[in-house]
Amino acid sequence: MAEKEENEIIEHHVSEEMEKKRSRTRDSHSFLESATISEKEGHSSTQSSHRLLAYSDALISIIATIMILPVAHTKIEPDQELQESLQQLLTTKIAVYLMTFLIVTVAWAAHIRLFQVIERIDDFLALLNLACMMLITFLPYTFSLMATFPEVPLGILLFCACAIVIGLIQAVIVIYGFGHPYLLNDHIQISENQTFYKRHILKIILRVPAFCFFAGIFSFIFFPLSYVLLALVIFLPYITQSLKWCGNKIVGRQEELPESMLLYSYHPSEPLSKERVEAFTDGVYAIVATLLILDICEDNVPDRNEVKEKYQGSLIAALSEFGPEFLAYFGSFVTVGLLWFVHHSLFLHVTKATRFMGLLNTFSLACVGGLPLAYQLTHEFTKNSRNELEAIQISCVIIFFAGIFQLAIWVTALFNERETLHPYVRYGGREHAFMFAKLALYPSVTLTTFFLTCILSKFSAQIFHLMQIVVPFAFLALRVLVSVALSLLKLVFRPAKPMHNALEEDESRLPFNDVVS
């Protein structure tokens, strides 16, 4: 009995000590938070970084997208074979566009990661960011020089010099931010490992200038090695992570990093600002939609004297000559708008974006940026010609890949659906089938159109324009079509079940990643 009372007394003292410890911890955290708040309030020169980030996203999206203009404005003679034109005129420019888009979006992703660490700015950081943006917007020009004169080292040197200075500016931003902790995000501010974070971030940022420095040196010695080093700047972190993931799978070790350790890790699940992904994506879609009208304004306004002489002053008769161009414009604008609509619907239900989802989004946007080229090609050639058929098929391929990468984003999110997706669109959710149908509509329709144009080549233009007309109405009726299809499937494959069995089945549903594993 005495031993029991003694144990109770010990337990009571232990619980009191634990409660005191918790209280001290809470007090210390409260003190740190209040100190942080008072410190932030005490620096009136600091401000939120939202507008600076919005400006940066807009600038980078513009510079990434307008590189399609040299490709879209490549002059192709009507009597030239399109395949020959693609080989001689377009292949190099398309490669330059894709590589430039990739390089610029890699710089944008690095900018996101940097300002996920630094959440507030002052005048000094704002000016440093402007210098960084100036150099990022100059990168496409250096890449054009590299593509046009691959054997001359000047293009590589300019590119490497820009990349080195950008990396050094970002390093200065990191050092300045950690020297003024009130500018950092809340997690790092209260962390006891600020020195570790600082060294880890600087090591990753300075890796790019180091590679570019050696690439610049080798451009004088053996320039193909310079291109290899520049490719490593982009792909080495992802290759390293892929090999590490494969090694863990072979050994059977499950690697789960906490959220805080995913920062600057190049892990596929590293968090990416969803708001900035949406802002950058909206910028690309808006610019592409705007680029479509430039050719209409430039090439499809008839000359005043020509209207008087050729059309007897009838402006309507003169404009009727441009009917195919207007049809191609409206069809292309509807395509861009509906692809944006699908992207908007997807990210409406995404709760967390990851690095791998951002990479897939970049591939989709690169295809969307090619739509002005598709618009230019679809109305440039003689009707029912071989060139027109190939131009329409190129348009189908561009739209197909723009849609399939959007679908891939959703599939990727399903593998970690509890963290990345709203419950409605998860596996078994009430909007799951509808979201799948919405994302699969464009890839399915464009693939069908492509094969129909191969079989019925004489009617390729009519089939393509019919597709552009039908798709908007298909989106309007999609929910009804999905409901009907699900009802038919349940009727065929699932006999009627008692209500309590249906409820038990709903409760026993597994998440998508558990089903796959």
Task: Encode pLDDT of 160-189 as tens digits.
Answer: 898 899 989 999 999 998 888 888 888 887
Q: Are 513 and 417 in contact (CB under 8 A)?
A: yes
More confident residue, 323 or 466: 466
What contacts 474, CB < 8 A, 6 or more positions away? 441, 445, 481
More confident residue, 164 or 2: 164
| Most confidently modeled range among 191-195, 400-404, 479-483 | 400-404
Section 35-39 average pLDDT? 45
- Tell whether the model's pLDDT for residue 74 goes beyond 80: no
More confident residue, 28 or 352: 352
pLDDT range class, residue 340, cuts 50, 70, 90: very high
- Looking at residue 255, what is its pLDDT? 53
Report in angstroms the alpha-carbon separations of 407 from 89, 438, 444, 486: 32, 9, 11, 20
DSSP three-state, residue 284: helix
- Looking at residue 43, what is its pLDDT? 54
Quote the CA–CA distance of 354 and 416 in Å, as a whole number.
Answer: 10
- Supply the pTM of this predicted model: 0.77
- Tell whether the model's pLDDT for residue 395 goes beyond 70: yes
- Looking at residue 101, what is its pLDDT? 82
Report in angstroms the alpha-carbon separations of 439 from 371, 436, 469, 481: 18, 5, 18, 14
What contacts 372, CB < 8 A, 6 or more positions away? 68, 69, 72, 288, 291, 292, 332
Section 71-100 average pLDDT? 64
Q: Are 475 and 434 in contact (CB under 8 A)?
A: no
pLDDT range class, residue 28, cuts 50, 70, 90: very low
- Range name among 106-110, 275-279, 390-394, 496-500 with the lowest pLDDT average: 496-500
- Tell whether the model's pLDDT for residue 136 goes beyond 60: yes
- Tell whether the model's pLDDT for residue 71 goes beyond 90: no
- Looking at residue 263, what is its pLDDT? 61
- Tell whether the model's pLDDT for residue 405 goes beyond 90: yes
At 157, which helix (H) or strand (E)?
A: helix 153-179
More confident residue, 54 or 80: 54
- Tell whether the model's pLDDT for residue 247 goes beyond 60: yes
- Looking at residue 253, what is its pLDDT? 62
DSSP three-state, residue 265: coil
pLDDT range class, residue 270, cuts 50, 70, 90: confident
- Range name among 32-46, 315-329, 489-503 with the lowest pLDDT average: 32-46
Section 356-372 average pLDDT? 88
Amino acid in position 333: F
- Range name among 184-188, 357-361, 394-398 with the lowest pLDDT average: 184-188
